[in-house]
């Protein structure tokens, strides 16, 4: 029996990165059985994935949105800074428009929700391995536009107060509104930004390209009662 002919082209190298051991094992088995890819490793941390990039000429990474030591955005930024040949496909349970916008801005080649059919991941990897980006539909204007710029001046001041760590009591005192009204305005602000809570709003604010130019509220003295609110 004649030996099998060598492959005309080497299979693309994949590395899986996810904080969940079950997800890592499942993806490793699923993608290995597909046969089109050389699955080099399934790792937990972003630093481990970056180490793999040093060992291989080019890698396609299938990674969760958040890893124990860094976010997917941090991972892509580090790979770019180190000039590593890494094409990142986000495989995430978080699939809000804002998450997708952040992924595209950070340089993701693909984005697949874990709620999608697994075949979608294979289709995305096939496109990315051929040098084509594969992303869900998203309004291009939302990618190009800083969401903070869509806020009113008062809303940007309110967001700036959150970024400075102000309590609801301090915000109410600064703007002359009650605590319930503060909560009402915060909910509207979160809805407008597409986030769920204060931490996510502040993270979005800090990652905004023009954050330094956004208006900040005038600092208030902090007393012990306000600090506990």
pLDDT of 153: 83
* Other residues' Cβ atoms within 10 Å of the Cβ of residue 117: 10
Tens-digit pLDDT profile for residues 182-203: 898 898 888 887 777 888 888 7
- pLDDT value of position 146: 66
**Dist. CA 203–CA 65, nearest whole Å:** 14
If you compute the radius of gyration of the chain from its CA atoms, what whole number of angstroms results?
22
Three-state secondary structure call for residue 219: coil
Where, residue-wise, is CATH 1.10.10.10 in the chain? 147-228
The domain at 147-228 falls in which architecture?
Orthogonal Bundle (1.10)
CA dist., res. 27 & res. 39, Å (int): 10
The answer regarding whether domain 13-142 maps to CATH 3.90.320.10 reads no
User: Is residue 19 pLDDT above 90, yes or no?
Assistant: yes
What is the per-residue pLDDT across 73-91, written as a single tens digit (0 to 9) for each?
999 999 999 999 999 999 9
Name the DSSP class of 6: P
Q: Is the pLDDT of residue 47 over 90?
A: yes
Q: For 61, list phi and psi in degrees, rounded to 5.
A: -105, 135
Cβ-proximal residues to 125 (8 Å cutoff; 6+ apart), any chain: 12, 14, 31, 36, 37, 60, 62, 89, 110
Long-range contacts of 2-10 (CB under 8 A, 24+ apart): 10/38
Q: Where in the chain is the domain with CATH 3.40.50.2300?
A: 13-142
């Amino acid at each position: 029996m004649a030996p099998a002919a060598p492959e005309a082209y080497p299979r693309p190298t994949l590395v899986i990165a996810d904080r969940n051991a079950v997800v890592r094992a499942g993806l490793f088995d699923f993608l290995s059985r597909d046969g089109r890819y050389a699955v080099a490793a399934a790792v937990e941390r972003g630093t481990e994935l970056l180490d793999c990039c040093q060992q291989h000429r080019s890698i396609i990474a299938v990674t969760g949105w958040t890893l124990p030591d860094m976010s997917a955005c941090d991972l892509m930024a580090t790979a770019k800074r180190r000039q590593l040949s890494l094409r990142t496909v986000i495989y995430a349970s978080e699939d809000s428009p804002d998450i997708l916008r952040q992924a595209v801005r950070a340089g993701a080649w693909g984005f697949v929700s874990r709620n999608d059919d697994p075949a979608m991941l294979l289709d995305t990897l096939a496109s990315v391995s051929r040098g084509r980006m594969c992303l869900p539909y998203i309004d291009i204007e939302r990618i190009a536009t800083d969401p903070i710029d869509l806020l009113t001046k008062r809303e940007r001041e309110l967001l700036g107060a959150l970024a400075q760590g102000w309590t609801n009591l301090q915000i109410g005192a600064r703007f002359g509104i009650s605590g319930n009204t503060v909560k009402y305005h915060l909910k509207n602000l979160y809805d407008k930004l597409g986030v769920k809570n204060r931490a996510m709003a502040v993270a979005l604010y800090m990652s905004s390209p023009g954050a330094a130019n956004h208006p900040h509220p005038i600092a208030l003295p902090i007393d012990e009662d306000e600090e506990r609110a």
